Chains A and B, each alone.
Chain A
Amino acid sequence: MSDAYLELVNSGVTKTLAKKLGLPRPAHLRRTDPAAVDTPLIPGRALVIGEGPDTDAVARTLLGWDLDVHRNVPDGRIGAVVVVLTDLTRPEQASQRVLALGSVLRSLAPGGRVVTVSRAAGPHDEPAVAAVRTGVDGLLRSIAKELRAGATGNGIVLGDQISPDAPSAVGALRFLLSARSAFVDGQFVHVNTADGVAPADWTRPLQGRVAVVTGAARGIGAEIARVLHRDGAQVLGVDVPAAGESLASVMNQVGGIALQLDITGADAAARIIERARSRYGRIDIVVHNAGITRDKLLANMKPDHWDSVVAVNVHAQLRMNEAFLATDGLSPDGLRLVSLASTSGIAGNRGQTNYGFSKAAVIGMTRALAPRLAHGAGTANAVAPGFIETEMTARIPALTRQVARRLNSLQQGGQPVDVAETIAFLASPQAGGINGEVLRVCGQNLVGQ
């Protein structure tokens, strides 16, 4: 799905014209080259701002990835700035580091990154501590809105006692710096525990993992299958029998298994488990991507429009999860569940009461599953896409679509691969300490958080 406006403002005469008129100029985002994953990790030098052991730890991590790391403002293009704020205890202490960041923003390369590392505020914190920690929320979200040329700003929020060296803190840092997080902007990743392990090969973190992807025949689901495969996973793709032709084509591209079934069927999970067990003996990752829309104003809603959306988008997931969790030995290293939520489930959307209900329900389900899965070393997380360029959004009337695309800090719609990258990260071994999160992939959409 192409964005003609984005092409126009980035080439030739129309580029100059757009500049002169001060029109919004969305940039081509830096995305992963499947032939050279994470290379380069960032488009220039790395600057680490901060003091103390946590800052040193972050700098060491970046050095471990062979980045050109600086502690003072360097000359030339800066690919990423990491601002460590974990040691701050009073709001007035933030000034120096924030202004240091401000002084280099003009040197940030296109597709550059700003990442804050801070601590979660809790109800038992001193008021001043809670103030500075929570202040980072407003700071980072505002910075993200000031960045241009495809640069993004995101934060890592560490739980109590969690070191910046924890596998998921390191994993989140790498994800947010890399091209994988192209359309993730203005978001915080909460690292709650020290669980998770760094992968042997950062470019293939899912090596040896078995992933089930529902709705894998097209759009976001097909891209999830491709990215999981690129990251090393074996993929079992599921879709309704009617979508079998494209499902077969996608599975043949990724060397996966095509399983035609309706996830609302009573035996859906049993058939998935049977196929995965006989072939691989296990399931490590389940991506609940299958979803439908039946948009109607509530005043015009027919029972079938409501019921079918709820059945596919949330009821089927609940039922399948029960079966996955009840099957002994299915996930020896812990089950990683990732569900597709939506910004419609967070901020609501006119004409989508059924969809918004189902997607908010997915968020509730994810949060409730998180502690249960944590017992078996698993996690449950959700990804909430904003405006993504798919066949589904291509059907939105042209003008509405143009407006919807520009309503975020990156001034464009995301690509299915952006959603897939985030899912692959949450399913990866290094994300074991991230649980019960709803991570938005929305280019910092103006609605909701």
Chain B
Amino acid sequence: MPSTSSPRRAAVIGSNRIPFGKAGGAYANATNLDMLGAALSGLVARFQLQGERLGDVAGGAVLKHSRDFNMTREAVLGSALSPQTPAFDVQRACGTSLETVTAIANKIALGQIDSGIAAGVDSTSDAPIVVSDRLRRTLIKLSRAKTLPDRLKLVASIRPGDLAPVAPDVAEPRTGLSMGEHQALTTLKWKITREAQDEIALASHTNLAQAYEDGLFDDLITPYRGLVRDESLRSDTSAEKLAKLKPVFGKGLGEGVATMTAGNSTPLSDGAATVLLGTDEWAAERGLPVLAHVVDAEAAAVDFVRGEEGLLMGGAYAVPRLLHRNKLVLADFDFIEIHEAFASTVLTTTAAWADEKFMVSKVGLPPLGKLNPAVLNVAGSSLAAGHPFGATGARIVGTLASLLSRAKQARPDGGGVRGLISVCAAGGQAVAMILEAA
């Protein structure tokens, strides 16, 4: 639904996240619930939400323990929010918290709620380890067995091999390929160079470090467990240092064609992010700022299983559709945030937007033209900040809303200041969103 016909638009009031940690780093002993609780606690304190009954809280994680089935509600109960605040869990892979922002914003736009929090979290350090299916079935039977002989028989049936844990991985269930190997295929197809990828990675670190220096994150981040800045950030990295790294993905694709390194691929991370949304009136009643409004969002998915399309190319479809519906072009955006799953994801997605043949034949829309690199990920993105899967969307919405508000203040009569978000996700999916400065 185009924004202009919407009865009201959800306001992004502010956000809070914890600094993102490296897998096995500062948050090695923190659970998803711990981190989500910490991010929520900082948000509550920043916006004085203690005792408030909010309309709803949506949160989610990708790697989730079964005990955390009601994770977001548990986080709310552990917070200073009113215990009467409801909450629900959502999961759309790396697009999880862009989806929670969409869900809460839609409820607000429809008049169902006046306020809400969208959140996401992930821990690769505290990932669930699953036991083998055979052991699991035996254990379930054991819990139901009534007599001692029955129990002993079941215990005796357990074989040493059953005890090996099954660790989670980031491979696609239908192809068996890891995300990096999938992207390596797409990188090759779009002839993305190593230099172009390293340039994206360097810009991510430089821009994120600069944003910290500028105090952008003073109102966006609350430190946690001694971590004050994102653990993956290397403010001292350089093109030379990045150029020295050996490729890690695409090594089987042929001699000399592998370009994806640990430097231009996102590290595994831990972290949580939250966004406070509401109506303009709800914010005004509490003397809270409105940074931006949620204009519209779009999800897309591609058929990567049969090789029709690259796994992480969903953004090449979601964004053109979203812009077309809102009668906007790339040049209408002051900020464009493309999640850096890999540096090459950003490059293949933007290359596709500019490619007439691809756009017409595959998306069925005219090409979007060339992206102005000056508006891309200006405060850094996942390569430098890290990428706790479920938290990335909320991180980007929080950062972008602040950037939009700052830009609007710098030119109050300059008309609309817009931002675009594209986040690719496992399963060939992507979520895109438009924000406009308030």
Contact = CB atoms under 8 A, between A and B. Distances in A.
A248 B38 CA distance: 9
B44 A242 contact: no
B42 A258 contact: yes
Given A245-B222, A256-B48, 6 more contacts: A242-B228, A245-B225, A248-B42, A277-B287, A278-B287, A278-B289
A97 to B, nearest CB: 51
Contacts of A242: 223, 228
Contacts of B48: 251, 255-257, 279
Contacts of B215: 261, 265
Interface string B38-73: 100110111110110000000000000000000000
A258 B50 contact: no
A280 B50 CA distance: 16
A244 interface: yes
B353 interface: no
B273 to A, nearest CB: 15
Contacts of A61: none
B222 A260 contact: yes
A244 B222 contact: yes
Interface in A202-252: 241-245, 247-249, 251-252
11 contacts: A241-B221, A244-B42, A252-B44, A257-B45, A257-B46, A257-B48, A258-B222, A265-B215, A278-B289, A279-B48, A279-B286
Nearest to A252: B80
Given A255-B48, A278-B287, A248 B41 contact: yes
Given A241-B223, A241-B228, A260-B222, A252 B50 contact: yes
**Which residue, of A244, A256, A257, has the highest number of chain B Cβ atoms within 10 A?**
A244
Contacts of A281: 287
Contacts of B224: 245
Contact of B51 (A244, A245, A255, A265): A255
Interface in B212-235: 215, 217-219, 221-225, 228
Contacts of B38: 245
A265 B215 CA distance: 10
B371 interface: no
B119 to A, nearest CB: 15
B288 interface: yes
B288 A258 contact: no
B51 A248 contact: no
Nearest to B38: A245
B45 A241 contact: no
Give the contact-size bracket for chain B. 20 to 34
B41 A252 contact: yes
Contacts of B44: 248, 252
Interface of B: 38, 41-42, 44-48, 50-51, 79-80, 215, 217-219, 221-225, 228, 286-289
B218 A261 contact: yes
A261 to B, nearest CB: 6
| Those 3 A-B pairs whose CB atoms lie nearest each other, nearest first | A248-B45, A258-B45, A279-B287
B228 A247 contact: no
A62 to B, nearest CB: 38
A74 to B, nearest CB: 47
Contacts of A247: 45, 222
A73 to B, nearest CB: 51
Contacts of B225: 245
A255 B289 CA distance: 19
Given A241-B221, A261-B218, A280-B287, A256 B228 contact: no
Nearest to B44: A252
A247 B48 CA distance: 12
B90 to A, nearest CB: 25
Contact of A278 (B42, B222, B288): B288
A258 B228 contact: no
Nearest to B289: A278
A255 B79 CA distance: 12
**Which residue, of A255, A256, A258, has the highest number of chain B Cβ atoms within 10 A?**
A258
Nearest to B48: A257
Contacts of B286: 279
Interface in A248-283: 248-249, 251-252, 255-261, 265, 277-281
B403 to A, nearest CB: 18
Contact of B46 (A243, A248, A277): A248
Contacts of B42: 244-245, 248, 258
A258 B46 contact: yes
**Which residue, of B222, B225, B289, has the highest number of chain A Cβ atoms within 10 A?**
B222
Contacts of A278: 287-289
A210 to B, nearest CB: 11
B29 to A, nearest CB: 16
A257 B221 CA distance: 15
A242 B228 CA distance: 6
Nearest to B47: A257
A242 B223 CA distance: 6
Nearest to A246: B223
A260 B42 CA distance: 11
Interface string A316-332: 00000000000000000
**Which residue, of B47, B48, B287, has the highest number of chain A Cβ atoms within 10 A?**
B48
A244 B16 CA distance: 11
A310 to B, nearest CB: 22
A127 B152 CA distance: 102
B50 A248 contact: no
Nearest to B226: A245
A395 to B, nearest CB: 18
Contacts of B79: 252
Contacts of A260: 218-219, 222
